[in-house]
Amino acid sequence: MRFLSTYQTGARRCCTMLFQKNAKSIRATLMSTTAAAEESRKIVKEEVFELDGRKYTPDALYNLSPGVRRLLDRRILQESSNPLNLLKRRIVDYVHQTYRKPGNRSPLFTICESEPRVVTTYQNFDSLLTPEDHVSRRPSDTYYVNHEHCLRAHTSAHQHNLMQSGLDAFLVIGDVYRRDEVDRTHYPCFHQIEGVRLYSKDELLGKKPDGKNVAELFSTAASAATERSPEKQEKHTLDATKAAEIQLKQFLENLCDELFGKDAEKRWVDAYFPFTHPSWELEVFYNGQWLEVLGCGIMEQKLLESAGVTDKIGWAFGIGLERIAMVLYGIPDIRLFWSKDTGFLSQFAGKMPGEDVKYKQISAHPQVIFDISFFLPSTVQFNDMTSDVYDTIRTVGGELVEQVKLTDEFENKKKEKKSQTYRIVYRSHERALTKEEVNVIHKQIEQSLASSFGVTLR
Ligand code: FA5
Ligand code: MG
């Protein structure tokens, strides 16, 4: 949540609110002419709101716009050709390979991907020690279903329950929803990976040969530092805080190196969250500016205690997946993740999580789609034909061809006939193509295939 920015950008928020007032009066005058369009944007409150197999009763606080309802229905993180899915798999694979349980037999971190997206206000705010009057609780910032339930605004909403259920190391992955600003890097629905790791005294601080620990996790009245300071919480020793900070920053820096390479510029910035202290944000330099990609910190001991954990201390982080994917794949605008344009999705389909993919700007003009089907000469194998077809289409169609896909292939053994169908997506970067002009090029491709490779068009 904007736990840092909400405190720092009072001026901007005031401006935004003023601007919204203005916008409202303008809208009022437009109302009569655009009544139909407005109708489709109206908040529709049903008797029962159902999501992820659970039912809720909306009340006066309900503020889910039709736009956000549509976002809830599309699970882009589960779509295998979405870059966010590719990135998620890459991070999970890396964490599973790198962090193992003692004996190396199984992964250390449990992956939690199917937590319900409607959470209680206790989960989203109170369990995380968010102050009663904190701006993030306002209906202008959060999507409420009713007074007790909202759409999770961050994956941190699941920390308390998962620790309570006994997990010491876990990743929570999912879509989160905020009534946030709208620009190239902010969107009302985005995706986070939460990481939590709890340590016992032995795990964090090790043991001396005599079996004793070099330091303690918790400060006692006997040891002097039982006050909260910028460096640590009242209950923690400075040693334990520093040890956990090193573990946390190492985890995140290694992950960043794995994703962006060791040369990428990054920096730590002090931050504030109600549920961690001390806290930091990590920024990566991209497109001429510093981009905040994650927030993290040493977990508030009170949060652990309320979840029944009394003898451990821990760290937590929350990564914004879109921000990382934008840097990693060179995606310039957050809205592109929601594109259904095959010109976008085809660039990520079938890729392996570790593969280097750089996004190539797609054209804003419409696609024109044509299929080509033919029988192969009897002596030619399917595979050989495919590369020749791709080459020919590129040569004849040039820059107007955006994608080519083999969509069907079959062999009629009796008649000794092999057939293939390809789908060609034409699109220009400069202008909208007409069907007629594309048809001319398409015919040339067909002729070229027939004369050069002896295929029989169907
Ligand atoms: C949080 O959400 C905290 N829950 C993170 C955290 C977890 C801190 C655990 C400490 C311990 P924040 O609001 O800064 O913090 O969001 C985390 C990341 O999500 C940001 O760094 C950014 O990468 C991404 N993010 C935030 N808002 C948006 C948005 N509207 N659109 C896209 N990405 C966003
Ligand atoms: Mg932040």
Tens of pLDDT, residue by residue over 359-388, are 998 888 899 999 999 999 999 989 889 988
Give SS3 for 150: strand
| CA–CA gap between residue 350 and residue 353 (Å, rounded) | 9
User: Which CATH entry fits the domain spanning 20-48+363-457: 3.50.50.60, 1.20.1640.10, 3.30.70.380, 3.20.20.60?
Assistant: 3.30.70.380
Rounded to whole angstroms, what are the CA distances from 146 to 53, 116, 134, 351, 428?
17, 16, 18, 41, 48
Return the ligand 1 atom nearest residue 178 CA.
Answer: 30
Q: Is the CB of 141 under 6 A from ligand 1?
A: no
Smallest CA-to-CA distance from 283 within 246, 242, 252, 244 is with 252
In CATH terms, are 20-48+363-457 and 82-328 the same topology?
no
Determine the residue type at 335: R
Tell me the β-bridge partners of 174.
Answer: 192
Model pLDDT for residues 169-219, shown as the tens digit of each residue:
999 999 999 998 777 888 899 999 999 999 999 999 998 889 888 899 999
- Write out the two tokens for 72: 């809830």
The pLDDT score that the predictor gives to residue 110 is 98
Burial class (CB in 10 A: 0-12, 13-18, 19+), 14: exposed
The CA distance from 431 to 365, in Å, is 6
Ligand that comes closest to the CA of residue 291: 1
Whole-angstrom Cα distance, residue 116 to residue 103?
33
Residue 372: the pLDDT is 96
- DSSP letter for 416, please: T
Place of tokens 């020919």: 392
User: If 0-12 CB within 10 Å is exposed, 13-18 middle and 19+ buried, where does residue 51 land?
Assistant: middle
DSSP one-letter code for 206: -
pLDDT in the model for residue 311? 96
Identify whether the C-beta of residue 171 lies closer than 8 Å to the C-beta of residue 317. Answer: no
pLDDT score, position 28: 39
Contact (Cβ atoms closer than 8 angstroms) between residue 106 and residue 267: no
Instruction: Write down the pLDDT at residue 40.
Output: 59
pLDDT of res. 41: 63
- Pairing mode, if any, of strands 169-177 and 110-112? parallel
Alpha carbon distance 315, 244 (integer Å): 7
52: Cβ–Cβ under 8 A, 6 or more apart, which residues?
116, 117, 118
The residues of the chain scoring below 70 in pLDDT are: 1-41, 222-224
Question: What CA–CA distance (Å, rounded) separates 354 from 193?
Answer: 18
The atom of ligand 1 lying closest to the CA of 188 is 30
pLDDT in the model for residue 6: 36
Q: What is the DSSP letter of 316?
A: E
Distance (angstroms) between ligand 2 centre and the Cα of 276 equals: 13
- Whose CA is closest to 259, among 315, 196, 322, 329? 329
Q: Which atom of ligand 1 is nearest to the CA of 3?
A: 13
Pocket perturbation via mutation, ligand 1, pick of 130, 162, 187, 273 by most ligand atoms within 8 A of CB: 273
The residue whose CA has the least distance to atom 5 of ligand 1 is 318
DSSP β-ladder status, 189-199 and 266-273: unpaired
Atom from ligand 1 closest to the CA of residue 282: 21
Residue 20: the pLDDT is 31
Type of residue numbered 15: C
Q: How far apart are CA 312 and CA 314, in angstroms?
A: 7
Residue the block writes with tokens 């009022």: 28
pLDDT at 212: 87
How far is 313 from 204, CA to CA, in rounded Å?
9
In the numeric block, which tokens belong to residue 224?
């002097």
Whole-number pLDDT of residue 220: 85
Q: What does the pLDDT look like over 336-354, one tens digit per residue?
A: 999 999 999 999 999 999 8
Could you please report the per-residue DSSP string of 340-409?
--HHHHTTTTT--TTS-----PPPSSPPEEEEEEEEPPTT--HHHHHHHHHHHHHHHHGGGEEEEEEEEE
Q: How far apart are CA 187 and CA 183, in angstroms?
A: 7
Question: Nearest-CA neighbor of 342 among 7, 122, 79?
Answer: 79
For residue 110 the two structure tokens come to 């449990």
pLDDT at 37: 52
Cα(432) to ligand 1 centroid in Å equals 39
Q: Terminal CA-to-CA distance of the chain, rounded, Å?
A: 58
Our answer on whether the CB atom of 2 is closer than 6 Å to any ligand 1 atom is yes
- The CATH architecture to which 82-328 belongs is 2-Layer Sandwich (3.30)
Reduced to 3 states (helix: H, G, I; strand: E, B; else coil), residue 170 is strand
Q: How far is the CA of 60 from the centre of ligand 2 (A)?
A: 29
Does residue 297 have its Cβ closer than 6 Å to ligand 1?
yes
Ligand 1 atom nearest residue 324's Cα: 23
For 107, residues 6+ apart whose C-beta sits below 8 A from its C-beta are 95, 96, 99, 100, 101
User: What are the structural domain ranges in the chain?
Assistant: 20-48+363-457, 82-328
Q: How far is the CA of 20 from the centre of ligand 2 (A)?
A: 23
